[in-house]
Amino acid sequence: MNYAWNWAVLFQSPYLEWLGQGIAMTLAVSTAAWIIALGLGTLIGIIHSSTSGPVRFVTGSYINLFRNVPLLLQMFLWFFVVPELLPKAAGTWLKRDLPYPEVVTAIVALGLFTASRVAVQVAAGIAAVPRGQSMAARASGLSTAQAYRFVLLPQAFRIVVPPLTSEFLTIFKNSSIALTIGVYELTAQTQQIQSFTYQGFEAFTAATVVYMTIALTVTTLMTIIERRIAIPGPTARG
Amino acid sequence: MKRRILELAAIAVGLALGTASAVQAQATDAVIDRIKAKKSISIGYREASIPFSYIDAQGKPTGYSTELCARVAATVKTALGLPELEIKWVPVNLQNRIPLVANGTVDISCESAVNTIGRQAQVDFSSPFFISSTRLLVKSKSGIAELADLKGKSIALPINSVPERLIKAIVERDKLNVRIVPVRDNSEGFLALSTDRVDAFSTDDILLFGLRSKAPTPADYEVVGKPLSYDSYGFLVQKNSTVFLSLVNATLARLAREGELAKVYGTWFEPLGVPLSASLATIFQVIGIPE
């Protein structure tokens, strides 16, 4: 291979700043999307655990729609197609007046996509709590809301910590898809460094190391949380 | 060293004469070795770089650049005496084409790559086969004629391209209040313009003419503005593959001399309403070096 390596390029101005900005954007987009995903996903997951057919159909439709359409396509749809379907004034506002439309779109798209996956996990977690727990809660005179709040959810969340960890990791990696609608996150900045310096391998190596660091940090953090909240006993191990 | 230069010169002359023996004697060219070993040549193409390199209705790579590279492959076939030489088409994009050529996945990238000094650090370029300039595509009714007219408006630029850097530099230098919307490729740039997300899309003018001709109503769009750059296109070849590169250039030289290059140009560009410019006609004379 005829390639002139130059690692120093990563520590030069403005490339180092670009990497920094890329990392900041990746963290910002992923964290914001994760807040949407966790909030909305939990809500939908809880509703989806209901026994009512029509309710399950509605939540199931959301889950299937957002889980089965590739994220790349969803980003494109939110960015280019949705503003065209809205009334003209709203569409124009989304396209031209909204500050940072690409960043906002990316956060919403990534958040809604991940929410569908979180919903499945939360619903599965609730389903995994032994049936006797829910029956006992009702028998002790707790309302449905109280049963969820005090008995089912605290156990379900402990069970789903490991799959939620992977989802949390995935959101950082999926945030790179935001570059397709013009968000300068880590991968986009890396490509920009390559485009300016033609030192693509160095830039991509740096991005790989950053993504690995983020992933390992998240894993460590979640392991600590998992250990802290574990209840001794068979159900807690999930 | 001197001896080696003489040897290379002799090989280049030999190639230009179309004699295959000199190539076979020279075995140090990585690209030639690879082609011989695999009995195939991998040609990089783009999916939407109209009319240079794009996918046609049948899903096959086509265009001005790919057609020229098919001629290059024919030259390689005869020069290396490989009658069963197979062409492998490899899709490339703005981000990966240089690494793919540098690491040898692609033997020659045939699309619309601008020759720059910076890029020459990683790859070699063939003789120029096209000249373009950065201009603007706008809606005919918008009244925009120059970059300066975009004050307070927005412009779409392809991520990590030469025009992106150029326009950003001008916007910063002239302190123009223009919002930049990065887009992934030319078709998304056109989409952003046609849906009024932006007021202009800027890239190489020829690509803009291509997009305009493909629009549902081409008359709604206009390519405007004075040329902001002078960019010569070349095929990308792995660095220091002198033997292969001279085969490529010999093909272009022969086509230029025989008037074939102008003819191929005509088939791709006249339908777009872009006749052969004086500067490109000169380029065709310059690269048409004799055998």
pLDDT in tens, A43-62: 999 999 887 889 899 999 99
In a domain, A199, yes or no: no
Find, among B46, B15, B6, the residue nearest to B250 by Cα: B15
Task: Tell me the per-residue pLDDT of B163-183, one tens digit each, with 9 for 90 and over.
Answer: 898 999 999 999 999 999 999
% of chain A beyond a pLDDT of 70: 97
Residue B91 has pLDDT above 90, yes or no: yes
Q: pLDDT band for position B22 (50/70/90)?
A: very low
Report how far apart the first and last C-alpha atoms of chain B are (Å, whole number). Answer: 25
Per-residue model confidence (pLDDT) at position B19:
47
The answer to the question of residue A7 being in a domain is no
Report the residue from B160, B183, B195 with minimal CB separation from A84.
B195
Question: Closest-CA residue in chain A for B195?
Answer: A84
Q: Are B65 and B129 in contact (CB under 8 A)?
A: yes
Residue A194: pLDDT over 80:
yes
Question: Would you state the pLDDT for residue B264?
Answer: 96
Question: Shortest CA distance to B228 belongs to which of B186, B170, B272, B275?
Answer: B170
What is the percent of chain B where pLDDT is above 70?
91
Optimal mutation site among A104, A198, A204, interface B, most CBs of chain B within 10 A: A198
For chain B positions 36-75, those within 8 Å of chain A (CB to CB) are none
Bond prior to A14 in cis (omega within 30° of 0): yes
**Residue A156 and residue A122 in contact, taking contact as beta carbons nearer than 8 Å:** yes
Q: Please give the residue range of the domain that contains residue A94.
A: 26-183
Closest CA to A47 of A140, A115, A142: A115
* Residue B156 contacts residue B193 (beta carbons within 8 Å): yes
Exposure of B20 in the CB half-sphere (CA atoms within 13 A): 11
Search chain A and give the residue with CA nearest B166.
Answer: A196
B182/A182 CB distance under 8 A: yes
Residue B112: partners with Cβ closer than 8 Å, 6 or more residues away: B46, B49, B52, B53, B65, B130, B132, B204, B206, B207, B233
A-to-B residue pairs, Cβ atoms closer than 8 angstroms: 68
Give me the mean pLDDT over the A76-105 stretch. Answer: 91
Which has more confidence, B17 or B103? B103
Q: How much of chain B is helix, strand and coil, in % rounded to 5? A: 45, 20, 30
| Rounded distance between C-alpha atoms, residue A24 and residue A33, angstroms | 14
Q: To which residue do tokens 């660091």 refer?
A: A213
Q: Give the pLDDT of residue A58.
A: 94
How many Cβ atoms sit within 10 Å of the Cβ of residue B77?
17
What's the pLDDT at A99? Answer: 87
Scanning every residue of chain B, which has its alpha carbon at the shortest distance from the alpha carbon of A187?
Answer: B95
- Tell me if chain B has a CB within 8 Å of the CB of A188: yes
Structure token digits, residue A238? 């999930």
| pLDDT the model gives residue B27 | 53
Pick the closest to residue A22 from A200, A211, A195 (CA basis): A211
Cβ–Cβ contact B99 with A under 8 A: yes
d(CA A10, CA B61): 36
Omega before A70 within 30 of 0, i.e. cis = no
The stretch B245-273 carries a mean pLDDT of 94
Contact A102 B195 (CB under 8 A): no
Q: Please state the domain count of chain A.
A: 1
- On whether the CB atoms of residues B38 and B80 are closer than 8 A, the answer is no
- Which CATH number fits the domain that encloses residue A47? 1.10.3720.10
Residues on chain A touching B98 (C-beta within 8 angstroms): 194, 198, 200
pLDDT recorded at residue B2: 56
On chain A, the residues whose CB falls within 8 A of the CB of B184 are: 179-182
- What pLDDT does residue A127 have? 93
Query: For B152-166, what is each residue's pLDDT tens digit?
Result: 999 999 988 888 989
Cα distance between residue B271 and residue B14, in whole Å: 38
Mean confidence (pLDDT) of chain A = 91
In this prediction, residue B186 carries a pLDDT of 87
B242 with B32: CB under 8 angstroms?
A: no
Distance of alpha carbon B114 from alpha carbon B128, whole angstroms: 9
Q: Does A192 touch chain B (CB under 8 A)?
A: yes
Q: Which residue from B53, B102, B50, B107 is spatially nearest to B76, judged by alpha carbons?
A: B107
Residue A190 covered by a domain: no
- Residue A229: what pLDDT? 87
Confirm whether A236 is domain-assigned.
no
The region of weakest confidence among A51-65, A135-149, B9-23 is: B9-23
Q: Answer yes or no: is A229 within a domain.
A: no
Across A158-181, average pLDDT: 93
- Could you say which of A2, A182, A192 has the minimum Cβ distance to residue B239? A2
The answer to whether residues B196 and B134 touch, using CB atoms and an 8 Å cutoff, is no
Question: Would you say residue A210 lies in a domain?
Answer: no
Whether pLDDT at B11 is above 90: no
Q: Which of chain A's residues have a Cβ under 8 Å away from the Cβ of B121?
A: 4, 198
Residue B4 binned pLDDT confidence (cut-offs 50, 70, 90): low
Chain A contact set for B172 (CB, 8 A): none
> Would residue A110 count as lying in a domain?
yes
B contact residues 227-246, partner A, Cβ 8 Å cutoff = 238-240
In a domain, A5, yes or no: no
User: Could you tell me if B178 lies within 8 Å of chain A, comparing CB atoms?
Assistant: no
How far apart are the CA of A20 and the nearest CA of chain B, in angstroms?
18
**Above 50 in pLDDT, residue A150?**
yes
Q: How confident is the model at residue B48 (pLDDT cuts 50, 70, 90)?
A: confident
**Residue percentage of chain A with pLDDT more than 90:** 74
Residue A208: CA count within 13 A, CB half-sphere: 6
Place of tokens 């794009």: B54
